[in-house]
Structure 1
């Protein structure tokens, strides 16, 4: 698979990584590691830069970077010499991370984050300030249609990632597609 990079971040990365191994799932289950992964969609960064961005000690950030590195979510994309020490810049291995088929007995309950629940909590201040844009629709479609539509959503998400960094307010873009209990109309009469 070739790199899909067109500007952000400042290093090459694959389009997707599908994870199925329990150690990979545990690595991305920690919400703090998700923040680190998000930051690295902007550009490669050192442990010091990441620590400064999140306001945590370098030792804490270094631990989480190592977990992500060992699980294959991060890699060293370049280095530089600072005095007598080689400093590493870390980048993601893939823009999008998918949780693949997992045997329930390997990871019960699911350790990965519920992005929609996390987004609901994160969006509350914007909702209360009447600054949130959100939509929800229900449509009865086939699994094939859902899969095809989801691929177009991923393309839109990748476009969002590539927007020029012109503002000083971080925005979140949340998407979800899931089977839901919702009434549907009977087939139309001929």
Structure 2
């Protein structure tokens, strides 16, 4: 598939300001539906076929997403004298803003863990030697973490916008997290070590 991804107009970002919106994201199937709609608008029938679930089940979850303002009808077409609706996301990226506090999110509620999903999905790829990844550790400030997160988010948006080619879907997991008990070297005042003072970093 070539051209704009997805094939309908949507906002770049949407603030989630109600518990209903956040809860709507706390379900793996609804997150899968949102992921599919990153590619293009789709009908209930198409989504049902893609996730191999009954249309009634998919329709229920799409209704939850629609009522939460995360999904909307972007166009319709006539199918045997009946209007068939095609759904799309309302934004490329969602972020939680309950009580006026912004928390960046690609669309995951607090009780839905993207890395738990990635771990489950990537098992077969790991066993077949097809899991590519890196892990690094660094002592950084909260400001540095936020700056790096914005760069990570831009990379995720680039991945989402890639033209759909080939026959295999690939997962792309990206994250940054604090580690309370990771070993650290003693602080040093030696500038050659990369820190100007014991309080740097």
Runs of 4+ in 1 over 6 A off after TM superposition: none
Aligned residues of 2:18 and 2:98 also touching (Cα < 8 A): no
CA positional deviation for 1:84: 1.9
Unaligned 5+ runs, structure 1: 1-5, 104-109
1:122 corresponding residue in structure 2: 121
Pair 1:80 & 2:77 matched: yes
Bigger-Rg structure (1/2): 2
String of CA shifts for 1:127-155, please: whole Å, max 9, x gaps: 11111011111111111111111111111
Aligned residues of 1:25 and 1:112 also touching (Cα < 8 A): no
Within a 5 Å distance, the mapping from 1:142-181 to structure 2 comes to 142-181=141-180
Within a 5 Å distance, the mapping from 1:84-103 to structure 2 comes to 84-101=81-98
Pair 1:188 & 2:191 matched: no
Provide the rounded CA distance (Å) in 1 between the counterparts of 2:68 and 2:18. Answer: 9
Provide the rounded CA distance (Å) in 2 between the counterparts of 1:155 and 1:167. Answer: 23
CA positional deviation for 1:21: 2.0
2:103 corresponding residue in structure 1: none
Provide the rounded CA distance (Å) in 2 between the counterparts of 1:102 and 1:177. Answer: 24
Pair 155,22 (structure 1): closer, same or farther in 2 beyond 3 Å: same
Aligned residues of 1:16 and 1:95 also touching (Cα < 8 A): yes
Unaligned 5+ runs, structure 2: 101-108, 191-201
TM-score by length of 1: 0.87
